[in-house]
Amino acid sequence: MLSLWRFSLLKEAQITGIEIHQYAPFVTIKRHVQFGMNFAAGVGAIQGVGEKHYFYEDFSTHPVSQGEEITVIPAKEVFRESSGLPVMPLGKIELVVAVMPAPGLKVKFSGNQPETADGKLK
């Protein structure tokens, strides 16, 4: 009996894309401070390389034989296999604090918490 499974991993990959942003103020305090959110959506193209890992186990032999085969492929193929999309959708939601020190001047401060490759927050 042969058992086979695989996973793909992106290595040295980067995304080049475009996003459209929309700022939505929720509350204004004394016409000098605003709190709101920034929403963004867009598309991107992924470049770089990825790895496809194939693992196998053969239970018909004693002892059981195991192995792994690693193939280097373009990163866009890794994404296309997992999502089926030709481009990568991008999206973002950020909290925003805006300060208006003078009429016609607004300074916005925003941020989000990025994730690392292992899915944990920095």
Residue 119 counted as domain residue: no
Residue 117 counted as domain residue: no
The alpha carbon of residue 114 and the mean position of all alpha carbons in its chain are separated, in whole angstroms, by: 9
Residue 119 pLDDT: 47
Residue 42 pLDDT: 93
Residue 118 counted as domain residue: no
Residue 5 pLDDT: 67
Beta carbons of 84 and 66 less than 8 angstroms apart: no
Residue 50 pLDDT: 84
User: How many Cα atoms within 13 Å fall on the side-chain side of residue 106?
Assistant: 14
Residue 40 counted as domain residue: yes
Average pLDDT per consecutive 10 residues, the chain (122 residues; last block may be shorter): 65 87 94 93 89 81 80 84 83 91 91 57 45
Give the residue numbers spanning the domain of 44.
2-111
Residue 49 counted as domain residue: yes
Residue 121 counted as domain residue: no
What Å distances lie between residue 66 and 49, 57, 101, 119, CA to CA?
26, 4, 67, 28
